[in-house]
Amino acid sequence: MSIPTTRFARLCALLDGGVIPSRNTTYHCCHIDEYSIVFSGSEGTRKVMIPTDVALEWISAYEFGLITIEMKGRDMRDIVTKHSEWAPFQHGFETHLRAIISAWATSA
C-alpha cells in the first residue's frame, strides 16, 4: 500500500477509477494524470476533461478557507477564478469541481 504524500497523490488515490457523488448525479473518473482529469459520460452528462492544476487550485482554496463545502459550485467558481492562473472558462465545470471538493473534504 502506498501512502499519498502530496495533494496530487491524494487526489489520484481519491479519483482514479472511482466514483464521486454530486447533487444530481455521480461522476466516474476514468483517467487522471499530472495534466488532466477525465470523467466518463454518465446519466445526463457527457465526457469532461479538467486540468489537474485547476482541481488542485480548488483544493488549495478549500484548504485555505476561501471556499467551503456548504457553498454552491457557482459561488466557489467565482471565488477561485479571482485567484487562479487559469482562464475563467477552465473553471466552468463547477459541478464536477464542487464534487471533487466534497469528496476531498469527506476523505480527510
73 domain residue, yes or no: yes
Burial of 54 (0-12, 13-18, 19+ CB in 10 A): buried
3-class secondary structure, 29: strand
108 domain residue, yes or no: no
Q: Per the structure block, which three cell numbers stand in for 7?
A: 495533494
pTM of the full structure: 0.92
pLDDT band at 24 (very low <50, low <70, confident <90, very high): confident
Burial of 7 (0-12, 13-18, 19+ CB in 10 A): middle
Please state the domain count of the chain.
Answer: 1
Q: What is the DSSP letter of 64?
A: T
19 domain residue, yes or no: yes
17 domain residue, yes or no: yes
Q: 49 pairs with which residues across the strands?
A: 38
pLDDT tens-digit series, residues 30-89 = 999 999 999 998 777 789 999 999 999 999 999 999 999 999 999 999 999 999 999 999
Residue 47: which domain range? 7-103
